[in-house]
Amino acid sequence: MFGLKPYWVKSPSWIKWIFPSYVWHIKTQHKELFLTFDDGPDPEVTPFVLDQLKTFNAKATFFCIGDCARKNPELLQRIKDEGHQIGNHTQFHPNGWNTSLEKYQQNITEAEPYLFNKDFKNSKLFRPPYGKCTRSQRKFLKAKGYKSIMWSTLSADFDTSLSKEEVLSNVLESTSKKGSIIIFHDSLKMKNNVLYCLPKVLEIYTKKGFTFKRIETSIL
């Protein structure tokens, strides 16, 4: 089903057909790409990510864990101040397939006060940890007004069997279309891969005439 790896680097068209309520790419006529970062903010990785984005005048979307935001409020504020988007990635990163509806609901709502406030309203963007979410959990998210954002290209920066060069190759070989959503992780476990890959991805696609935008509910 997955080939040699238990994941797809490039999301297949048939899975998009099975889960049409998920957002797999952004419809756009412009040469725009949408970088996303999961599992932060992290004091060792997120500042580097933000510095690189600023260097290339790029915007991105950060799907933050509520507990990480609680521990690093200054980093969350910097993400907001520099014009990036915030999305909900739950409070403690549970696997939806192994989590009761009640506990999953609690994870979503518990994260909100740490991610959003009167100066930064809930963006209503959500990414399920591990990309795993049950039907009842999806119904709850929809009732709360959330849009579940998946991805076009999975960098697989989490895969310890891959070299940093292979992670970069994942992105470069699978990202060519306008509106592609690319996923990295601004967390300590993926630090070496992100430090190597992100500057190169930004430079290569900028030279190709692409710009990097944040995800807005208004364009979904």
Sequence ranges of the domains in the chain: 30-219
Q: 167 with 155: CB under 8 angstroms? A: yes
Q: Is 38 a catalytic residue?
A: yes
Indicate the burial class of 216 (C-beta count within 10 angstroms; 0-12, 13-18, 19 or more). middle
Spell out the per-residue pLDDT of the chain, length 220, in tens. Answer: 334 578 899 999 898 899 999 999 999 999 999 999 999 999 999 999 999 999 999 999 999 999 999 999 999 999 999 999 999 999 999 999 999 999 999 999 999 999 998 888 899 999 999 999 999 999 999 999 999 999 999 999 999 999 999 999 999 999 989 999 999 999 999 999 999 999 999 999 999 999 999 999 988 8
d(CA 207, CA 131): 31
Paired tokens of 159: 């895969």
Paired tokens of 39: 């599992």
- Candidates 148, 175, 164; CA nearest to 198 is 164
Neighbouring CB atoms inside 10 A of 66's CB total 23
Of 84, 89, 93, 185, catalytic = 185
Q: 79 with 116: CB under 8 angstroms? A: no
Residue for token digits 């990036």? 84
Q: 179 with 31: CB under 8 angstroms? A: no
Give the pLDDT score at 1: 30
Of 38, 39, 157, 159, catalytic = 38
User: Which alpha helices (H) appear in 19-150, and where do they start and end?
Assistant: 46-55, 66-71, 73-81, 101-115, 135-143
Q: What CATH number was assigned to the domain covering residues 30-219? A: 3.20.20.370
- Candidates 8, 65, 19, 18; CA nearest to 41 is 65
Q: Is 30 a catalytic residue?
A: no
Give the pLDDT score at 16: 87
